[in-house]
Amino acid sequence: MRIRPSNISLLRVVIIISLIGVIVAPVWMWLDPASFVKFGTDDVIMRYGGFERLVPWQYAAGFVVTALPQALLAWSLCLIWRLTSLVDAGRWFDDASESVWRTSGKVMLWYVLANWLSPTALILVLTATLGPGKRELALSIQSQDFLGLIPALMALVIARMVALARAQRDELNEIV
């Protein structure tokens, strides 16, 4: 498939829509839980008594642990946006694009970790005010928790490929 301006524009639309979804969802969930649960219920919070019984610091901490993976995902989307700008400028093969690929891969790895640990931290926060014996440390592993590893590792491999290809190009440029 050829890279045309329309492809890039379409990709940017997808990035913007994804960014809105990623940023709005956790903010909305914690700012106005009553209206948010009409569209999608967070099982963990409802399972542990809902938003009503939470004290202010639990709201803040709950928001942080829920929003952190989303913030990392948003950062990764911003990096993909930066890549589209580099492609537009014809700089898809220079050190800047290599750096963005590498950073994107690392951010996605952090996202996978944060997204996996987020329910654990949330349950800790939600049960912190309960009496002794009722506080919980729950850790779960599902295959879908690690789906993010695929784009993360792909981005890191692409960064490595760009680095090697640039080194090879530079070497070939020294052959007359």
Partner 1 sequence: MPITVKLDVILADRKVKSKDLANHIGITEANLSLLKSGKVKGVRFGTLEAICEYLACQPGDILIYEPDPEA
Phi, psi (degrees; rounded to nearest 5) at 32: -140, 75
Q: CB of 94: closest distance to partner 1 in angstroms?
A: 21
Binding residues for partner 1 (CB under 8 A) = 171, 174-176
Q: CB of 163: closest distance to partner 1 in angstroms?
A: 18
Tell me the three state secondary structure of residue 29. Answer: helix
Query: CA-CA distance, 75 to 86, in Å (whole number)?
Result: 17
Residue 168 DSSP symbol: H
Q: Which helix (H) or strand (E) holds 134?
A: none
In the bound state with partner 1, the residue whose beta carbon lies nearer, of 141 and 172, is: 172
In the bound state with partner 1, the residue whose beta carbon lies nearer, of 129 and 168, is: 168
In the bound state with partner 1, the residue whose beta carbon lies nearer, of 6 and 173, is: 173
Kindly state the tokens that stand for 6. 């329309």
CB 88 within 8 A of CB 9: no
Query: CA-CA distance, 123 to 136, in Å (whole number)?
Result: 7
Q: CB of 170: closest distance to partner 1 in angstroms?
A: 10
In the bound state with partner 1, the residue whose beta carbon lies nearer, of 52 and 170, is: 170
In the bound state with partner 1, the residue whose beta carbon lies nearer, of 43 and 170, is: 170
Q: CB of 174: closest distance to partner 1 in angstroms?
A: 4
Q: CB of 176: closest distance to partner 1 in angstroms?
A: 4
Phi, psi (degrees; rounded to nearest 5) at 38: -70, -30
